[in-house]
Structure 1
Amino acid sequence: MSTRDTVLAAAQRLLTTDPTASMAQIATAAGVGRATVHRHFASREDLLHEIGVRSLERWAESQRAAGLAEVVAAGDADRIRACLEVLIDAFVVDADEIGIALTDPTVLNAPDLRERADALFTQEVTLYAAAQDAGVLRADVPARWLGHSLYGLLIAVRDALVSGDIARRDAEALVRSTFLEGGAAR
């Protein structure tokens, strides 16, 4: 792993548990000097922007790996539910590992990151709409609302993991059951 990747990994872990951590604290967590961190990232905002880029890459990869587009096109209820489960599990891992990207204003407000996030969210909403059409998810709410609900659950699981309110081994199942059972078709 490169020094840049080491710094990013340490920053992701630290900022998820302490969103106000300084560049000096990030350097300590990465086992490097502050000057090394600044060689790779001129500012805290640059570092957070890169975390945002990486989180969006993981989101896009999760959608590809789950076969989101193919599953939506097929419209098969079993495949849609399986795709939802795979995505939720991947999202929980991401929330645990790079949870800062879910709520940090630098990440959320950067125009380029916002544009990409909106596009990924729109793709994901097609899955929720297909799930509604197939009877997997309730159809009496907007598909976009289901996406926002899952996003809220990801923030909740991140916070619950950080505070120790749930065990890591239970996280995926808790989010899956809350989303899929709480949003189940009636």
Structure 2
Amino acid sequence: MADEETILAAATRHLNRDPGASMADLAKAIGISRATLHRHFATRETLLHHIAERALDRWERVQDEAEIDDAAASGDPARVAASLRALLRGFLPLIDEHGFALTVHLVAAYLAADVSALEERSERLEEREIALYAAAQRAGVLRADLPARWVSDALFGLLIGLRDGLARGDVAPRDIERLLFTTFFDGVGPQAAPGSEATS
């Protein structure tokens, strides 16, 4: 019998492809009976709430493991760069969840319960990252002519693009780290001085 973690992961993947999926649709996609799904989560709203909480938990864990707060406070270019790369690498296994983590305000449309705590937590986690991006700009790790919040938005877009590309089969799993790193750092990394060659 599928455990709760397996159900949440599978439901997240399916909802990314079909946001309007019913509990019956989700049970079929997961490979369990509707009754089993309802034993774990009485309603669709309860399931969505748990998915959002799980996404936020995993997002925060990646931030903590990348030590983004300490790196940002240090101002040390090498430490900031290492933390930023650890953050991006840590996001790769979370591609399915990241969309939920940053769009919990959309989950609110499906939930009768108050989700302000989820929204506040999502905003707090995003602000932690924006502080890292700003520190990376000051340290010369990222280009300084872009708003730090735009850097955050751009990374989110890349992660969603990878998620959708994987789902469509346009992107191979073995290529996602290379695609993320090259696209992100080529776009928001420090720019080469006029007349000089950009380095990889």
**Common topology (TM > 0.5):** yes
Map residues 1-186 of structure 1 onto 2, 5 A cutoff: 3-95=3-95, 97-98=96-97, 101=100, 103=103, 105-106=106-107, 110-186=115-191
The Cα shift of 1:166 comes to 1.1
- The one-letter amino acid of 2:84's match is L
Question: Would you tell me which structure has more helix in proportion to its own residues?
Answer: 1
**Structure 2 spans left out of the alignment, 5+ residues:** 192-200
Tell me: CA distance 1:20–1:165, structure 2 relative to 1, closer, same or farther (3 Å): same
The Cα shift of 1:143 comes to 0.9
- The one-letter amino acid of 2:141's match is V
**Structure 1 spans left out of the alignment, 5+ residues:** none
- Matched-pair identity in %: 47
Tell me: CA distance 1:100–1:26, structure 2 relative to 1, closer, same or farther (3 Å): farther
Instruction: Write the deviation string for residues 75-132 of structure 1: whole angstroms up to 9, x where unpaired.
Output: 111221121111112212201x435515572168932211101000111111001100
Native 8 Å contact 1:80 1:127 kept in 2: yes
Tell me: CA distance 1:93–1:139, structure 2 relative to 1, closer, same or farther (3 Å): same
Tell me: CA distance 1:142–1:99, structure 2 relative to 1, closer, same or farther (3 Å): closer
- The one-letter amino acid of 1:83's match is S
The Cα shift of 1:56 comes to 0.5
The Cα shift of 1:134 comes to 0.4
| RMSD, aligned α-carbons | 2.1
Please give the alpha-carbon distance, in whole angstroms, between the structure 1 residues aligned to 2:163 and 2:6: 21
* Count of aligned residue pairs for this structure pair: 185
- The one-letter amino acid of 1:143's match is A
Greater relative CO, 1 or 2 (CA 8 Å, sep 6+)? 1
The Cα shift of 1:2 comes to 6.5
Native 8 Å contact 2:10 2:30 kept in 1: yes
Instruction: Write the deviation string for residues 26-62 of structure 1: whole angstroms up to 9, x where unpaired.
Output: 2233333212212222222221111110111111100
Runs of 4 or more, structure 1, over 6 Å off, are: none
Tell me: CA distance 1:7–1:90, structure 2 relative to 1, closer, same or farther (3 Å): same
Secondary structure (helix, strand or coil) at the match of 1:42 reads: coil
Please give the alpha-carbon distance, in whole angstroms, between the structure 1 residues aligned to 2:153 and 2:97: 18
Please give the alpha-carbon distance, in whole angstroms, between the structure 1 residues aligned to 2:5 and 2:160: 24
Please give the alpha-carbon distance, in whole angstroms, between the structure 1 residues aligned to 2:26 and 2:8: 9
